[in-house]
Amino acid sequence: MSNYRKSTHLLKRPSRGWLVLSVALLLAGLAFLGAFGYSWYQYAKSSWYYAGLQQLAVAATGQNEASAENGVDFASLQAINPDTAAWLVMPGIDISLPVVQATDNEMYLHKGFDGSDSPEGCLFFGASGQEGDIYRVIYGHNLHTGSMFSGLLNYRDGEFYLQNPTFTLYTPDETQTYRIFSCHTATDMEDLYDTNRTAGEEYDAFLQRLSTISEYNTGVEVPSGAQVLTLSTCLTSYGSGLERYVVHAYRES
């Protein structure tokens, strides 16, 4: 009899507290999987959208979407978003994307090209600049998916730079070629984000300083009064902190 009682004691039902904890852990796990799945879907949807946009952008030329060498259909792009200002092509880091002119520096961090909510946002010119300025900044996210400006961090490798020293910016009026002359980390409080600049000795000294603080010597001499474009992204894909990674390039043609 004593053995029977011992065995039934060992087989008794789990306590109510254990059941509650198990259910709570199960629900938490399901919630996590649901949130992860939704986040993945949002990123995937944004990537699919931009892939389709590449096809639209060059539809008028009949060329492959990966190339914009023969022009960009800005009329179609501006019909979707009147803020469309340019199309940036950097083959080495798989960038072929629209650039919009922001009216503030927050909106396109969270809005896609079509204005819908998007974790990828959209590449945008800083709100304080305008077309024709001697110095401008393009902002873009650094994402764990590798999209947008994530690839800029490849320029931390001097060998990669040597293979990819230039990029192209297409505007409704012209094709602009830029040569990279400096790549480095920065903070978002530095004066390199001040686009209120005019040609002169002070501006040339500013460009010289940008060259000096590069992580490696590119060997590029920046002409006096050169038109410069700075590309900026967060140093990490989590977007925390003030650190940024920036690439400076001057216009060759």
CA separation for the pair 83, 86 (Å, rounded): 9
- Per-residue confidence (pLDDT) for residue 91, from 0 to 100: 92
- Per-residue confidence (pLDDT) for residue 88, from 0 to 100: 95
Instruction: Flag residues of the chain having pLDDT under 70.
Output: 1-48, 58-70, 237-241
Cβ–Cβ < 8 Å for 14, 87: no
What residues are labeled active site? 141, 234
Cβ–Cβ < 8 Å for 67, 58: yes
- Per-residue confidence (pLDDT) for residue 147, from 0 to 100: 82
- Per-residue confidence (pLDDT) for residue 64, from 0 to 100: 44
CA separation for the pair 44, 129 (Å, rounded): 31
> Could you give the angle at the alpha carbon of 227 between the alpha carbons of 221 and 229, nearest 5°?
95
Which segments within the chain are labelled E, that is strand?
Answer: 84-90, 95-101, 123-125, 135-139, 166-170, 175-187, 228-234, 243-251
Query: Sign of torsion, CA 126 123 239 38?
Result: positive
- Per-residue confidence (pLDDT) for residue 54, from 0 to 100: 80
Question: Beta strands 228-234 and 243-251: pairing type?
Answer: antiparallel
- Per-residue confidence (pLDDT) for residue 92, from 0 to 100: 95
- Estimate the share of the chain in helix, then strand, then coil, as percent rounded to the nearest 5: 35, 25, 40
110-133 tens-digit pLDDT: 899 999 988 889 999 999 888 889
- Per-residue confidence (pLDDT) for residue 63, from 0 to 100: 44
Cβ–Cβ < 8 Å for 114, 107: no
92-108 tens-digit pLDDT: 999 999 999 999 999 99
Cβ–Cβ < 8 Å for 148, 141: yes
Give the HSE-up count for residue 163: Cα atoms under 13 Å, Cβ half-sphere.
Answer: 10
Please give the CATH architecture assigned to the domain spanning 42-251.
Beta Barrel (2.40)
**Whole-structure pTM value:** 0.79
Q: Can you count the helices (H) and strands (E) in the chain?
A: 6, 8
